[in-house]
Structure 1
């Protein structure tokens, strides 16, 4: 058999690929699905609407990877295919975001963390404690055909996500008391999930991330969020409106923003202590 293709040249080597796993941890995935929920609640949306919620392009690789991760964690549901494909926030994500009953949110997060098959496999395998990075990377590369970069990214995603699979006791105890409780549990055959030894204290599933300046205001029943997006790497905006909004109102908003632009330009010439910089845009009609 010839080792050349139709061009007479040796075939190009196949590009190495790591096994499939979410490219972001569950903490970041929750931030992403929270942005979708803020814009669309539980309505079905298309991929362009998802990308807009994340400040990304509809056809960008970041959108595709983020979408794949949220589907892997079970935070989004989809139906249809091609241009008709639609997505919505899943029941599991709704519980993780909104369920205030004791333990309900933690249970939802633990379920989401274990949905990706590879993460669930290694949570069980490393339940007594994850080995050092070098050992883990060697195992992933040799036994699971990961690339070097893929193995490092998997460990980062794993360390973030695995913490959601354990729950802390209601009453916090010193580390020594926690260790003694663990020994007693093992002796009695208790199957309570082990705390990951590389963590200094029992991991507590994090609450909602600190609100950004543009997210400080809760949208009331009479209001709606007209649009949102990014202005710069560290700046974003939300446009909250009430009443009927048409072309006339949009023109007025443009005029208002032009005035604000001129004011901000004047402030650039002021000493920093004298500036009064707005941090959000709100506009409504009666």
Structure 2
């Protein structure tokens, strides 16, 4: 039985691109360097240095992304080594040099360079428009087109704020920022009360919203879009400690001060 065009599209092999964004990859390169410096090591050991038991799945994809961004290089005989660029990333002279390394790395993946050169960092089209272009002009299947966009946009957000990634000509590129919606289409919020254990999604890659009622007049929602892995979970924990806790303490102190002033006036 002949396959439909849609079935053939879903099965076709898409172009290579870094599955992980520059934020994850730039954090992984120093881990390899700290273990073996620039010595050639088997790929399986490199994966273990990065926290993976095998090269299957995420371990192999992360090594491939390190290679595509130029932080590791093939050493032959199924071995890899940290590249000179990866060594510089691990021990930059200053923030300016680190930013320069990131600007160089973002151009290493061929298709990242092509899209950034065409649109600029602050000019990427909408997700549906770019997805259509990736499928029609670059031969992506729909799933891979979505993964490409996720990795590309994460890479852009990993660039320093003052980064000017030079395209062909004198096109200035700036950091792209996108507002995060308060709700996600086709996703029901998960309502969490203080005495109810949160019903977290079984799939760590699923978009979801955690909604916690604080009182009759106030609630808070946590919107998660994309993949939540170890790296993201650690950053969320850091963000909570650095941003949320001080903010909550500020609100509590302000409320206490207001209560004291009310008592004094009474």
TM-score between both structures, scaled by the size of structure 2: 0.57
Checking the alignment, whether the CA contact within 8 Å between 1:166 and 1:195 is kept in structure 2 is: no
Q: Structure 1 pair 99/17, CA: closer, same or farther in 2 (3 Å)?
A: same
When Rg is computed on C-alpha atoms for both structures, the one with the higher figure is: 1
Runs (4+) of structure 1 exceeding 6 A deviation are 9-13
Matching of residues 36-51 of structure 1 within 5 Å:
36-51=32-47
Gaps of 5+ in 1: 1-8, 170-189, 201-232, 235-286
Structure 2 residue 134 is the aligned partner of structure 1 residue 193 = no
State the Cα distance separating 1:165 from its structure 2 match.
Answer: 5.7
Structure 2 residue 115 is the aligned partner of structure 1 residue 119 = no
State the Cα distance separating 1:21 from its structure 2 match.
Answer: 0.6
The 3-state SS of whatever aligns with 1:29 is helix
TM-score between both structures, scaled by the size of structure 1: 0.53
Checking the alignment, whether the CA contact within 8 Å between 1:114 and 1:165 is kept in structure 2 is: no
Aligned to 1:88: 81
Matching of residues 1-286 of structure 1 within 5 Å:
15-80=11-76, 84-101=77-94, 103-127=96-120, 129-163=123-157, 168=162, 191=170, 193-198=172-177
The CA distance in 1 between the partners of 2:161 and 2:177, in whole Å, is 15
State the Cα distance separating 1:70 from its structure 2 match.
Answer: 0.9
RMSD in angstroms over aligned alpha carbons? 2.8
Checking the alignment, whether the CA contact within 8 Å between 1:52 and 1:58 is kept in structure 2 is: yes
State the Cα distance separating 1:192 from its structure 2 match.
Answer: 6.4
The 3-state SS of whatever aligns with 1:77 is strand
State the Cα distance separating 1:58 from its structure 2 match.
Answer: 3.2
State the Cα distance separating 1:63 from its structure 2 match.
Answer: 2.4
State the Cα distance separating 1:191 from its structure 2 match.
Answer: 3.3
How many residue pairs get aligned? The number is 171
The CA distance in 2 between the partners of 1:32 and 1:42, in whole Å, is 14
